[in-house]
Amino acid sequence: MPAFEKRGLLFELPRDLGWAVSHAAIPTPDRLDDGSYHIYYSARDADNRASIGRFRVKIEGDALRVVEIERVPVLGLGELGAFDDAGVTVSCLVQHAGRKYLYYTGWSRGVSVPFYMFGGLAISDDGGATFRRVSGAPVLERNEVDPYLTASPWVIVENDRWRMWYVSCSRWEPRPGGPRHFYHIRYAESADGIGWERDGLVAVDYANESEYALARPVVFKNDEGYEMWFSQRGAAYRLVRAMSRDGLVWSRAALPLLDVSPAGWDSDMVAYAAAIRSDDRSFLLYNGNRYGADGVGYAVSAVM
C-alpha cells in the first residue's frame, strides 16, 4: 500500500457558530454529482454536545480545497430524554435507490457510567438538503449480544444485502479515575438498512491487554477482498488497518495506516480516518490531537 504524505489541516472550525464552538471530528465524505464532496463532521457546543455539520471540497490535482462551509447543522440534538439528546456524531453516509442514509452515533449522559452511545439513522429524500430521523429510537439499541453500547456504524450495500461493521462495548471496568469502557468491532446484516440482525460476531478484537478501544471502522473493497481502517487506542488513538477475504474474518496489517507527527496538531493522536478517491489519487481525511479539536487534516498517496 503506498505511503500517505501529510498535507496539514484542511478545515478549521469557524469560531462564530453558536452550535459549534470546538472540534471538527470524524470526517465523512459523500461524493456529489459535480465531482465535489460534502464532508460531514461533528462539532461540539459550549456544553460539549455534538451536532453534525458539513463543508464541501473539490479535488484540484493532488490537493483538496474547501469551497463552501455550511453554517447550520445537518442534524442536531435529539429530543430531551431521547438516546441522542446529549449529542450526535456522524458515522457513515450511504447512497442507495435515490436516498441518502446518514448513520450516526447518538449520545446520552449516564450516572453509573459517564455516557451511553447507540447507532442511529436519518434519511434524506431530497439529495441531502434535509434529513429526517427514521425513529426517535436507535437502530442499534441494546440487546442480548450488545448489552452496553453500540456506536460508529459503517455500512455498505452488496446485492441488496446491507452489511455493517460497528463498535460494541464488551464491558465497563471500575478504575480509580472512573469506569473505563472496552469496545471492539462487530458485524451485522440487514435487508433494508433499518432493521439489523446481530449475533455478536466480533470482526476485530483487542490485540493485547493494553488495547481497550477500537473506534470508527471504515470498510471498502479492494482487489483481495475488503480493507478496514479503524482507530486503535492504548495510550492514545492510532490509525491502523485490517484485511479480509469475506468481511467477516480479519487480520491486522503490521504497519500503521498513518502515524503521528513529531510536533504539532497531530503529534499525540491520529484517528477517525476516511477516504476520498480520484482516478490517480487517494486522499485520507483524519483528526489529530484531542479527538479532532483542531479540525480535519488530510494526507495524499498515489492511487491504491
Does 103 have pLDDT greater than 80? yes
Does position 1 have pLDDT exceeding 70, yes or no? Answer: no
> What pLDDT does 303 receive?
64
Summarised one tens digit per residue, pLDDT across range 60-98 is: 999 999 999 999 999 999 999 999 999 999 999 999 999
Domain around 21 = 5-302
Query: Which CATH number belongs to the domain containing residue 26 in this structure?
Result: 2.115.10.20
Residue 304 scores a pLDDT above 70: no
- For position 163, what pLDDT does the model report? 98
Instruction: Please state, in angstroms and rounded to a whole number, the distance separating the CA atoms of residues 132 and 119.
Output: 15
Average pLDDT over residues 174-188: 96
The secondary structure of residue 77, as a DSSP letter, is P
Name residue, grid cell 472496552.
182
For the stretch 108-141, pLDDT in tens is 999 999 999 999 999 999 999 999 999 999 999 9
Chain segment 194-219, per-residue pLDDT in tens:
999 999 999 999 999 999 999 999 99
> How many domains, in total, are found in the chain?
1
In the predicted structure, residue 302 carries a pLDDT above the cut 80: no
The string over 279-304, giving b where at least 16 C-beta atoms fall within 10 Å of a residue's C-beta and e elsewhere, is: eebbbbbbbbbebbbbbbbbbbeeee
Q: Are 194 and 139 in contact (CB under 8 A)?
A: yes
- Chain segment 25-52, per-residue pLDDT in tens: 999 999 999 999 999 999 999 999 999 9
Q: How far is CA 174 from CA 39, 112, 206, 276, in A?
A: 37, 10, 19, 40
